[in-house]
Amino acid sequence: MQRELTDAVLIDYLRRTNKRPAPRSGPAARLGIAYNRPTLRLSGIDKNADRIILHVQNAEYHDYIRTNLLLDLCHDQQGQTLRSIAHGNKMLQAIGNSDFADTLGIGILLLTSDGYLVLQHRSPGVLACPRCLGMSVSGTFAPEHLKFRDNVLDMIIGGEQSWEDDFTITPGPMFTETDLKKDDIERIDLLGITRDLIRGGQPSMIFLAISELSRSSITEHYKRASEKYETAALEFVQADHVLPDKRQMITKDNFRGWVEWLYRDPLSKPDAPATPVLRSSIALLVKMLIRELAPVWQE
């Protein structure tokens, strides 16, 4: 019998999962239930002509693990997963009304100076999408990333840990996963916001970051990253058309062929399937290129 996700059911589920450790498969042990830090929960989105306003609430990584990450791994007494209880009608709950932590995520497509998209072969030890082809960078925002940051690049790069007015500012996801610094990024553009079905609808801001570093330099930086254990290997996809000074190479005649190749070849590897977020992020990238180039094609 399908149960509804009432407050009592959710509380019972969280009580049970709080006593169950995360899967102990190598580096995944670092993300045990005891691991915790402050995060931000996306509670609403307002949009007008020239800006998008994100409303956030304080949250904890602990609850993100127990809901968005473990929703398929932990069962109640009737053998149901949290996903089957919360999403039994095959619909995601609306942002702000979800019973999950829904911490605000970050996904970054990194483009090298010599025209390669950098993708991660995710480690077999990660909790979500192990052995899959994923984003160049993925992570979550923390409250300290908003303090003393005057732009998005500062927020997601972060840099070395520092202290301001006794408030600890930790490195952002791009720094910890790639070892890149602010000066290594030429420009960064918001592509959109997507929701990760694997993680129960977790919302993520998706960015395209263009680096001043080449493919070989990026590889060396990844080797020094503090969270390099999340990446088993890197995949470099030729995408020089995406570089701003080479986008004129994209015409109406060759654009469709390039997109079909991208989805057919790099994103269709049977031994390393692309994560849903990567696929939706590529779709957002394609949408951005169409929006930018359509006026040129109509001339």
CATH number for the domain spanning 174: value is 3.90.79.10
> Are 195 and 246 in a shared domain?
yes
Q: What residues are paired with 133 via a beta bridge?
A: 121, 274
**What is the per-residue pLDDT across 235-247, written as a single tens digit (0 to 9) for each?**
999 998 899 988 8
Phi, psi of 55 (to 5 degrees): -95, 130
> Are 177 and 205 in a shared domain?
yes
- Cα–Cα distance measured from residue 103 to residue 58, given in angstroms and rounded to the nearest whole number: 9
Q: How many CB atoms lie within 10 A of CB 118?
A: 24
> Are 299 and 174 in a shared domain?
yes
Number of domains in the chain: 2
> Are 13 and 55 in a shared domain?
yes
> Who has greater pLDDT, 28 or 119?
119
> Are 16 and 64 in a shared domain?
yes
> Are 213 and 74 in a shared domain?
no
> Are 27 and 142 in a shared domain?
no
Final residue of a structural domain among 67, 102, 137: 102
> Are 193 and 157 in a shared domain?
yes
> Are 115 and 89 in a shared domain?
no
- Would the pLDDT of 150 be above 50? yes
- Cα–Cα distance measured from residue 289 to residue 197, given in angstroms and rounded to the nearest whole number: 25
> Are 67 and 205 in a shared domain?
no
Q: What is the mean predicted confidence (pLDDT) over 258-263?
A: 87
pLDDT of residue 201: 92
- Would the pLDDT of 27 be above 80? no
Of 59-63, 197-201, 258-262, give the lowest mean pLDDT range.
59-63
Q: What is the mean predicted confidence (pLDDT) over 102-126?
A: 90
Contacts of 125 (CB under 8 A, 6+ apart): 25, 26, 27, 28, 229
pLDDT of residue 29: 44
Backbone Cα Rg of the chain: 20
> Are 200 and 87 in a shared domain?
no
> Are 72 and 122 in a shared domain?
no
58 lies in which domain range?
1-102
Q: What is the mean predicted confidence (pLDDT) over 30-52?
A: 74
Q: What is the mean pLDDT of the chain?
A: 79
Final residue of a structural domain among 46, 69, 102: 102
Final residue of a structural domain among 102, 134, 160: 102
Provide the whole-model pTM: 0.82
Of 150-164, 220-234, 266-280, give the lowest mean pLDDT range.
150-164
Q: What is the mean predicted confidence (pLDDT) over 129-143?
A: 85
